[in-house]
Amino acid sequence: MKFEGWTITEIAGAGLVHLQCYGGAVGKPAENFRPGEFMKWNGGSTSEFLEILRETKSQIVIKEKCIDRHGVETVYERRLKKSRLVAIGTRLES
């Protein structure tokens, strides 16, 4: 994981997430992701954060774009607890 373009505060605030079939990855709370950033999930797949659709005191519902192993793009809604640590991806991968 490269930290190009990150501030010292962002690096220091990053946590460690363990992903199945991938291992350790740097993560940050779901509420800190911004449109255009990438999230990495179990199995090594990634998604692009598109926008926040709804927000409550403790949760957000986001729109994300994923690419499956066949190269097909799909847009999903996902509900996340704001404090949940989510691994930081670098680009869309299947």
Distance from C-alpha of 28 to C-alpha of 87, rounded to nearest angstrom: 7
For β-strands 38-40 and 23-29, DSSP reports them as: unpaired
* Nearest alpha carbon to residue 55 among 63, 47, 43, 46: 63
Q: Is residue 75 part of a domain?
A: yes
- For the domain that residue 45 is a member of, what is the CATH number? 2.30.30.30
Predicted TM-score (pTM) of the model is 0.77
Per residue of the chain (94 residues), give pLDDT as tens.
555 666 655 655 568 888 888 888 889 999 999 999 999 988 878 899 999 999 999 999 999 999 877 878 999 999 999 999 999 988 766 5
As for how many domains the chain has, the answer is: 1
End-to-end CA distance of the chain: 18
Q: Is residue 2 part of a domain?
A: no
Domain that holds residue 42: 8-89
Q: Is residue 3 part of a domain?
A: no
Q: Is residue 52 part of a domain?
A: yes
